[in-house]
Amino acid sequence: MLRTRIIPTLLLRNESLIKTVRFGKFSYVGDPANTVRIFNELEVDELLFLDVTATVEGRKPNLKVLAEIADECFMPLGYGGGIRSFEDAQIILKLGFEKVVVNTRALEEPSFITRLSEHFGSQAIIVSIDVKRGLFWGDQVRSRAGGKNARRSPVEWAREVERLGAGEILLTSIDREGTWEGFDLDLVRSVSEAVRIPVIANGGAGKVEHIGQAVKEGCASAVALGSMVVFQRKGMGVLVNFPEESELRRILA
């Protein structure tokens, strides 16, 4: 049977691993290479890396850090952050990552998704959709690490990226990110039901029960974990960890 993918999603700020709360309030977690070594030993399903300040700081992906990660990891790897050109994507895939994650660039120029997908295959292209709940307009998609309102509805944009050739969607609730309060299940369900490609639920996981909810109630194909896998508990120190296999089996059964 196919396992539900549980994906530690690690945030980079150039050479450091960090963690955020609602896309702000940065705290330092550690060194990426050391951390991935632990996840490698824990035999996690897959890893995603997002350099959350690359776009806003006008940086290119840090290829040195990514090469170190790829050398250490024997699991599927994805990277996002500052991918602006075809060549950016190509070099990352060549390092040994199999998926690239695009967000801001795709919103500016949706045909970028198609260009990448036609060349590398849709399985290599994840479109990241960051969503913030608006006071009057409902859920709205944001680009530039949450900084810019793209004035699109998540469901409508999700359908469009699927049509343009995206292989997966990383769906993040900005309001839940880093809060440990659980996923925005309404958001996860509305997007999962709108598309046929896999949707990775992100933002809010604080305990294993949340994983079960995202899959069973939210109909997510995969689940991303952030704070939960780098901190001991909410408000506590850094501890790289991953839920026990038996616990995951119980939750997903």
Distance CA 82, CA 85 (A): 9
Write out the two tokens for 159.
């359908």
CA distance 48 to 51: 10
Choosing from 130, 175, 184, 186, the catalytic residue is: 130
| Contact (CB, 8 A) for 103 and 129 | yes
45 binds other proteins (CB under 8 A): yes
**Given the rule CB under 8 A, which of 30-38, 71-79, 148-156, 230-238 is the region that contacts other proteins?**
71-79
Residues of span 2-41 touching other proteins by CB under 8 A: 2-5, 40
C-beta of residue 117 within 8 angstroms of C-beta of residue 165: yes
CB of residue 242 to other proteins, shortest distance in Å:
13
Give the CA angle between residues 228, 146, 131 to the nearest 5°.
75
Shortest gap between Cβ of 222 and other proteins (angstroms)? 8
Measured from the CB atom, the residue of 23 and 120 that comes closer to other proteins is: 120
Q: CB-wise, 40 or 241, nearer to other proteins?
A: 40
DSSP 185-225: HHHHHHHHHH-SS-EEEES---SHHHHHHHHHTT--SEEEE
Query: Which residue reads 């690239």 in tokens?
Result: 100
Name the minimum Å distance from CB 196 to other proteins: 6
Selection from 131, 168, 134, 156 nearest residue 146 by Cα: 131
Binder among 31, 98, 160, 175 for other proteins (CB under 8 A): 98
Specify whether 139 is catalytic. Answer: no
Q: Count of CB atoms within 10 A of residue 195's CB?
A: 19
Is 76 a binding residue for other proteins by CB under 8 A? The answer is yes
Residues 215-244 that bind other proteins (CB under 8 A): 221-222
Strand partners, 224: 7
CB of 175 to other proteins, least distance (A): 28
Q: How far is the CB of 76 from other proteins (least distance, A)?
A: 5
Touching other proteins, residues 141-180 (CB under 8 A) = 167
- Among 25, 34, 57, 71, the residue binding other proteins under the rule CB under 8 A is 71
Token digits for 35?
């951390």
The pairing of beta strand 125-134 with beta strand 138-143: antiparallel
Of residues 18 and 197, the one with the C-beta less far from other proteins = 197
Residues tagged active-site: 130
Interacting residue ranges for other proteins, rule: CB under 8 A: 1-5, 40, 43, 45-46, 70-71, 74-76, 93-96, 98, 120-121, 123-124, 167, 196-198, 221-222
